[in-house]
């Protein structure tokens, strides 16, 4: 029922047990997502607690994901301000939380943003900070993230997109010195 306003407020036991918390998205920045934690509400107690709760936002980062330049733009299009998200605590680094971030998509479906970004080819798999390298959970999550990244690679999406044969030929022709000289000559003739 406690509202967390800083990463350091969250008990170590919560991080160790990988507790899921609920929050309201406020901003997406270069550092991560700024989320207002929404505690479990108990009717009478919550009313009293609201008077003493401080204001603050938690910095939530996508664990195991290194965003590509298009990744942040995709997140800003996909997520709306004040949208409810769930974030599973995996680690805490300075003032940021390393999390798996889940977004509801319909009544019974949810989407893991960490996996979806990799599936779209908008990032690369990175080390999951905060989890022990030899833990079972680390390898289970890392395998899920690698599978998502492999799907983008196979489908030629995002950063994994390769130019087609015709695009490569067109680029080679347009970058050819002789063709560039001809273009300059043609523009000089038009100008005369």
- Is 50 among the domain residues? yes
We report the CATH number of the domain holding residue 115 as 2.40.50.90
* pTM exceeding the 0.85 threshold for the entire prediction: no
* The total number of structural domains that make up the chain: 1
User: CA nearest 137: which of 22, 17, 8?
Assistant: 17
Q: Reduced to 3 states, what is the DSSP secondary structure of residue 173? A: helix
Could you tell me what percent of the chain has a pLDDT over 90? 38
pLDDT exceeds cutoff 90 at 146: yes
Give residue 177's pLDDT band: very low, low, confident or very high (50, 70, 90).
Answer: confident
- Is 92 among the domain residues? yes
Element spanning 51, H or E: none
> Is the separation of the CB atoms in 46 and 36 below 8 Å?
no
- Is 100 among the domain residues? yes
Q: Looking at residue 43, what is its pLDDT?
A: 61
């Amino acid at each position: 029922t406690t509202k967390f306003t800083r990463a350091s407020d969250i008990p170590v036991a919560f991080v160790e047990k990988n507790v899921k918390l609920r929050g309201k998205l406020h901003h997406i920045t270069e550092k991560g997502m700024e989320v207002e934690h929404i505690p479990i509400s108990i009717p009478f107690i919550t009313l009293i607690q609201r008077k003493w709760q401080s204001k603050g936002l938690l910095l939530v980062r996508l664990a195991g994901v290194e965003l590509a330049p298009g990744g942040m733009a995709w997140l800003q299009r996909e997520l709306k301000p004040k949208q409810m998200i769930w974030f599973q605590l995996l680690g805490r680094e300075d003032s940021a939380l390393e999390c798996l971030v889940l977004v509801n998509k319909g009544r019974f479906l949810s989407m893991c943003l960490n996996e979806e970004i990799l599936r779209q080819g908008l990032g690369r798999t990175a080390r999951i900070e905060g989890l022990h390298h030899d833990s079972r959970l680390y390898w289970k999550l890392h395998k899920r993230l690698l599978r998502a990244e492999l799907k983008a690679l196979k489908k030629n999406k995002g950063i994994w997109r390769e130019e087609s044969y015709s695009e490569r030929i067109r680029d080679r022709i347009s970058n050819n010195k002789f063709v560039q000289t001809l273009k300059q000559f043609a523009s000089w003739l038009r100008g005369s």
